[in-house]
Amino acid sequence: MAKVRTQLVSWEDVVEWSRGLAEKVRASGYMPDVVIAVARGGYVPARLICDFLMINNLVSIQSQHWTEAAKAEERAIIKFPYEVDLSGMKALLVDDIVDTGESLLLAKDFIMRKWKPTDVKIAVLQWISSAAKFKPEYYHLEVREWVWFQYPWTRLEDTYQFFKKMLSEEAKYGKNEWTFEELVKSFMEWYEIDVGDKYFRDAVNSLVRDGFLEEEKGKYKLKL
Ligand code: AMP
Protein backbone atom coordinates (compact mmCIF):
# COMPACT_ATOMS: atom_id res chain seq x y z
CA MET A 1 0.00 0.00 0.00
CA ALA A 2 1.47 3.35 -1.07
CA LYS A 3 2.01 5.96 1.64
CA VAL A 4 0.78 8.71 -0.68
CA ARG A 5 -1.96 7.72 -3.13
CA THR A 6 -0.50 8.56 -6.52
CA GLN A 7 -1.43 7.67 -10.08
CA LEU A 8 0.80 8.08 -13.10
CA VAL A 9 -0.81 9.80 -16.11
CA SER A 10 0.83 9.28 -19.52
CA TRP A 11 1.00 11.64 -22.50
CA GLU A 12 -1.33 9.26 -24.34
CA ASP A 13 -3.89 9.54 -21.50
CA VAL A 14 -3.71 13.33 -21.73
CA VAL A 15 -4.41 13.35 -25.46
CA GLU A 16 -7.30 10.90 -25.14
CA TRP A 17 -8.82 12.67 -22.15
CA SER A 18 -8.56 16.05 -23.91
CA ARG A 19 -10.21 14.56 -26.99
CA GLY A 20 -13.03 13.20 -24.79
CA LEU A 21 -13.41 16.55 -23.06
CA ALA A 22 -13.58 18.42 -26.37
CA GLU A 23 -16.27 15.98 -27.54
CA LYS A 24 -18.40 16.82 -24.49
CA VAL A 25 -18.09 20.54 -25.15
CA ARG A 26 -19.02 20.05 -28.81
CA ALA A 27 -21.96 17.78 -27.95
CA SER A 28 -23.37 20.39 -25.55
CA GLY A 29 -23.66 22.94 -28.34
CA TYR A 30 -21.51 25.51 -26.51
CA MET A 31 -19.23 27.19 -29.04
CA PRO A 32 -16.45 29.09 -27.28
CA ASP A 33 -14.73 31.96 -29.09
CA VAL A 34 -11.73 31.82 -26.80
CA VAL A 35 -10.02 29.22 -24.63
CA ILE A 36 -8.44 30.36 -21.37
CA ALA A 37 -5.72 28.06 -20.01
CA VAL A 38 -5.29 28.07 -16.26
CA ALA A 39 -1.56 28.10 -15.64
CA ARG A 40 0.15 25.96 -15.17
CA GLY A 41 -1.79 22.69 -15.19
CA GLY A 42 -4.26 23.74 -17.86
CA TYR A 43 -1.71 24.62 -20.56
CA VAL A 44 -1.41 21.28 -22.32
CA PRO A 45 -5.11 20.34 -22.13
CA ALA A 46 -6.10 23.85 -23.29
CA ARG A 47 -3.82 23.66 -26.32
CA LEU A 48 -5.20 20.24 -27.21
CA ILE A 49 -8.78 21.45 -26.78
CA CYS A 50 -8.00 24.30 -29.21
CA ASP A 51 -6.87 21.70 -31.69
CA PHE A 52 -9.82 19.34 -31.20
CA LEU A 53 -12.38 22.18 -31.35
CA MET A 54 -10.40 24.16 -33.95
CA ILE A 55 -10.26 27.32 -31.87
CA ASN A 56 -7.60 29.93 -32.62
CA ASN A 57 -7.92 32.18 -29.60
CA LEU A 58 -5.96 31.05 -26.56
CA VAL A 59 -5.08 33.18 -23.55
CA SER A 60 -3.95 32.30 -20.07
CA ILE A 61 -4.38 33.16 -16.43
CA GLN A 62 -2.22 31.95 -13.55
CA SER A 63 -4.26 31.05 -10.54
CA GLN A 64 -2.19 29.23 -8.04
CA HIS A 65 -3.21 27.11 -5.13
CA TRP A 66 -0.91 24.10 -4.88
CA THR A 67 2.73 25.08 -5.11
CA GLU A 68 4.15 21.68 -4.20
CA ALA A 69 3.03 18.20 -5.12
CA ALA A 70 0.23 16.95 -2.86
CA LYS A 71 0.52 19.97 -0.56
CA ALA A 72 -2.10 22.74 -0.73
CA GLU A 73 -1.45 26.35 0.15
CA GLU A 74 -3.99 28.14 2.29
CA ARG A 75 -5.57 30.16 -0.47
CA ALA A 76 -5.39 30.72 -4.19
CA ILE A 77 -4.01 33.90 -5.80
CA ILE A 78 -4.04 35.38 -9.32
CA LYS A 79 -0.34 35.67 -9.93
CA PHE A 80 -0.29 38.23 -12.77
CA PRO A 81 -3.56 40.16 -12.60
CA TYR A 82 -3.34 41.70 -16.09
CA GLU A 83 -6.49 42.51 -17.99
CA VAL A 84 -7.62 41.59 -21.50
CA ASP A 85 -10.85 42.59 -23.20
CA LEU A 86 -13.04 39.57 -23.90
CA SER A 87 -16.29 41.49 -24.22
CA GLY A 88 -18.67 39.89 -26.71
CA MET A 89 -16.85 36.54 -26.46
CA LYS A 90 -17.82 33.18 -25.01
CA ALA A 91 -14.97 31.63 -23.06
CA LEU A 92 -13.94 28.12 -22.09
CA LEU A 93 -11.76 28.02 -18.99
CA VAL A 94 -9.58 24.89 -19.11
CA ASP A 95 -7.60 23.20 -16.37
CA ASP A 96 -6.23 19.74 -15.65
CA ILE A 97 -8.24 18.97 -12.51
CA VAL A 98 -10.76 20.36 -10.07
CA ASP A 99 -9.53 19.25 -6.64
CA THR A 100 -10.74 21.76 -4.06
CA GLY A 101 -11.78 23.98 -6.95
CA GLU A 102 -10.38 27.09 -5.23
CA SER A 103 -8.08 28.15 -8.03
CA LEU A 104 -10.75 27.80 -10.73
CA LEU A 105 -13.36 29.64 -8.70
CA LEU A 106 -10.94 32.49 -8.18
CA ALA A 107 -9.93 32.54 -11.87
CA LYS A 108 -13.55 32.50 -13.04
CA ASP A 109 -14.52 35.33 -10.71
CA PHE A 110 -11.53 37.43 -11.82
CA ILE A 111 -12.23 36.79 -15.51
CA MET A 112 -15.94 37.66 -15.19
CA ARG A 113 -15.19 40.92 -13.39
CA LYS A 114 -12.11 42.10 -15.28
CA TRP A 115 -12.11 40.46 -18.71
CA LYS A 116 -15.90 40.66 -19.10
CA PRO A 117 -16.71 37.82 -21.54
CA THR A 118 -20.42 37.15 -22.21
CA ASP A 119 -20.08 33.67 -20.67
CA VAL A 120 -17.46 31.43 -19.06
CA LYS A 121 -17.79 27.67 -18.77
CA ILE A 122 -15.28 25.42 -17.07
CA ALA A 123 -13.78 22.29 -18.67
CA VAL A 124 -11.34 19.96 -16.90
CA LEU A 125 -9.84 16.56 -17.55
CA GLN A 126 -10.70 15.34 -14.06
CA TRP A 127 -13.10 16.32 -11.31
CA ILE A 128 -12.54 15.03 -7.77
CA SER A 129 -16.19 14.97 -6.78
CA SER A 130 -15.51 14.11 -3.12
CA ALA A 131 -13.20 17.12 -2.62
CA ALA A 132 -14.48 19.81 -4.96
CA LYS A 133 -16.54 22.82 -3.96
CA PHE A 134 -18.40 22.76 -7.29
CA LYS A 135 -19.10 20.61 -10.33
CA PRO A 136 -17.57 21.96 -13.56
CA GLU A 137 -19.78 22.24 -16.64
CA TYR A 138 -17.50 19.79 -18.49
CA TYR A 139 -15.18 17.07 -17.18
CA HIS A 140 -13.82 13.94 -18.79
CA LEU A 141 -13.42 11.74 -15.69
CA GLU A 142 -15.04 11.83 -12.29
CA VAL A 143 -12.67 10.77 -9.49
CA ARG A 144 -14.41 9.62 -6.32
CA GLU A 145 -11.45 8.96 -4.03
CA TRP A 146 -8.69 11.53 -3.70
CA VAL A 147 -5.40 10.64 -5.36
CA TRP A 148 -2.48 12.75 -6.61
CA PHE A 149 -2.35 12.51 -10.41
CA GLN A 150 1.21 12.58 -11.57
CA TYR A 151 0.74 14.42 -14.90
CA PRO A 152 3.58 14.32 -17.43
CA TRP A 153 4.10 18.10 -17.22
CA THR A 154 5.03 17.97 -13.52
CA ARG A 155 6.98 14.73 -13.61
CA LEU A 156 10.28 16.21 -12.50
CA GLU A 157 8.98 18.64 -9.92
CA ASP A 158 6.68 16.00 -8.39
CA THR A 159 9.48 13.42 -8.27
CA TYR A 160 11.75 16.02 -6.65
CA GLN A 161 9.16 16.96 -4.01
CA PHE A 162 8.21 13.34 -3.38
CA PHE A 163 11.86 12.42 -2.80
CA LYS A 164 12.22 15.34 -0.39
CA LYS A 165 9.22 14.25 1.64
CA MET A 166 10.26 10.60 1.63
CA LEU A 167 13.87 11.34 2.64
CA SER A 168 12.85 13.68 5.45
CA GLU A 169 10.53 10.99 6.82
CA GLU A 170 13.10 8.21 6.53
CA ALA A 171 15.68 10.43 8.25
CA LYS A 172 13.33 10.73 11.25
CA TYR A 173 13.74 6.98 11.66
CA GLY A 174 17.52 7.18 11.65
CA LYS A 175 18.31 6.43 8.02
CA ASN A 176 20.77 8.86 6.48
CA GLU A 177 22.56 7.14 3.65
CA TRP A 178 21.19 5.69 0.40
CA THR A 179 22.54 4.36 -2.85
CA PHE A 180 20.72 5.53 -6.00
CA GLU A 181 19.08 2.09 -6.26
CA GLU A 182 17.85 2.35 -2.65
CA LEU A 183 16.40 5.79 -3.34
CA VAL A 184 14.45 4.45 -6.31
CA LYS A 185 13.30 1.34 -4.44
CA SER A 186 12.01 3.41 -1.51
CA PHE A 187 10.31 5.85 -3.89
CA MET A 188 8.42 3.01 -5.55
CA GLU A 189 7.36 1.64 -2.15
CA TRP A 190 6.19 5.05 -1.02
CA TYR A 191 4.35 6.15 -4.14
CA GLU A 192 3.92 2.98 -6.18
CA ILE A 193 4.71 4.74 -9.45
CA ASP A 194 7.70 4.37 -11.73
CA VAL A 195 8.63 7.65 -13.39
CA GLY A 196 11.57 6.06 -15.22
CA ASP A 197 15.33 6.18 -14.77
CA LYS A 198 15.84 9.60 -16.40
CA TYR A 199 13.38 11.37 -14.12
CA PHE A 200 14.74 9.60 -11.04
CA ARG A 201 18.27 10.69 -11.99
CA ASP A 202 17.23 14.26 -12.84
CA ALA A 203 15.38 14.61 -9.53
CA VAL A 204 18.26 13.21 -7.46
CA ASN A 205 20.76 15.42 -9.32
CA SER A 206 18.55 18.46 -8.65
CA LEU A 207 18.41 17.60 -4.95
CA VAL A 208 22.22 17.46 -4.93
CA ARG A 209 22.48 20.76 -6.86
CA ASP A 210 20.06 22.44 -4.46
CA GLY A 211 22.08 21.31 -1.45
CA PHE A 212 19.43 18.96 -0.03
CA LEU A 213 21.55 15.85 -0.68
CA GLU A 214 25.28 15.30 -0.99
CA GLU A 215 26.87 12.55 -3.00
CA GLU A 216 30.13 10.74 -2.31
CA LYS A 217 31.27 7.60 -4.08
CA GLY A 218 27.77 6.62 -5.12
CA LYS A 219 26.21 7.18 -1.66
CA TYR A 220 23.70 9.94 -1.00
CA LYS A 221 23.37 11.68 2.36
CA LEU A 222 21.03 14.35 3.63
CA LYS A 223 22.84 17.65 3.94
CA LEU A 224 21.18 19.33 6.88
P1 AMP B 1 -7.47 23.17 -6.74
O2 AMP B 1 -7.47 24.66 -6.62
O3 AMP B 1 -7.42 22.51 -5.38
O4 AMP B 1 -8.68 22.65 -7.50
O5 AMP B 1 -6.15 22.70 -7.51
C6 AMP B 1 -5.35 23.58 -8.28
C7 AMP B 1 -4.32 22.90 -9.15
O8 AMP B 1 -3.41 22.08 -8.38
C9 AMP B 1 -4.88 21.93 -10.19
O10 AMP B 1 -5.25 22.60 -11.35
C11 AMP B 1 -3.68 21.00 -10.44
O12 AMP B 1 -2.75 21.58 -11.33
C13 AMP B 1 -3.07 20.88 -9.06
N14 AMP B 1 -3.70 19.74 -8.33
C15 AMP B 1 -4.57 19.84 -7.31
N16 AMP B 1 -4.95 18.63 -6.88
C17 AMP B 1 -4.31 17.71 -7.66
C18 AMP B 1 -4.31 16.28 -7.71
N19 AMP B 1 -5.05 15.56 -6.87
N20 AMP B 1 -3.51 15.68 -8.63
C21 AMP B 1 -2.75 16.44 -9.48
N22 AMP B 1 -2.71 17.77 -9.49
C23 AMP B 1 -3.49 18.43 -8.59
Q: Where are the domains of the chain?
A: 7-150, 152-222
Please report, as a single letter, which amino acid is at residue 94. Answer: V
End-to-end CA distance of the chain: give it in Å, rounded: 29
The torsion angles phi and psi of 73, rounded to 5 degrees, stand at -80, 170
Distance between CA 159 and CA 53 in Å, rounded?
33
Q: Which residues pair with 30 in a beta bridge?
A: none
The whole-number pLDDT of residue 147 equals 96
User: How would you classify the pairing of strands 90-98 and 148-150?
Assistant: unpaired
The DSSP line for 142-209 is EE-S--EEE-GGGHHHHHHHHHHHHHHHHHHTT--EEEHHHHHHHHHHHH-----HHHHHHHHHHHHH
Identical fold between 7-150 and 152-222: no
Tens place of pLDDT for every residue, the chain, 224 residues? Answer: 678 899 999 999 999 999 999 999 999 999 999 999 999 999 999 999 999 999 999 999 999 876 666 565 567 899 999 999 999 999 999 999 999 999 999 999 999 999 999 999 999 999 999 999 999 999 999 999 999 999 999 999 999 999 999 999 999 998 889 999 999 999 999 999 999 999 999 999 999 999 999 999 999 999 96
- Rounded to whole angstroms, the Cα distance separating 88 from 33 reads 9
- Verify whether ligand 1 is closer than 6 Å to residue 46 (CB atom): no
Pick the CATH number of 152-222 from 1.10.10.10, 1.10.1040.10, 1.20.120.80, 2.60.200.20: 1.10.10.10
Identify the CATH assignment for 7-150 out of 3.40.50.2020, 3.30.750.24, 3.30.1490.20, 3.30.1360.70.
Answer: 3.40.50.2020
Residue 67: the pLDDT is 61
What's the pLDDT score for residue 98? 97
Phi, psi of 123 (to 5 degrees): -130, 130
pLDDT of residue 29: 98
Q: Distance between CA atoms of 216 and 198, rounded to whole angstroms?
A: 20
Distance 103 CA to ligand 1 centre (A): 8
Q: Write down the pLDDT at residue 152.
A: 98
**Are 46 and 94 within 8 A, CB to CB?**
yes
Residue type, 121: K
- Ligand 1 touching residue 66 (CB < 6 A): yes
Identify the pLDDT of residue 73: 57
pLDDT confidence of residue 4 = 87
d(CA 196, ligand 1 centre) in Å: 23
Q: How far is the CA of 179 from the centre of ligand 1 (A)?
A: 32
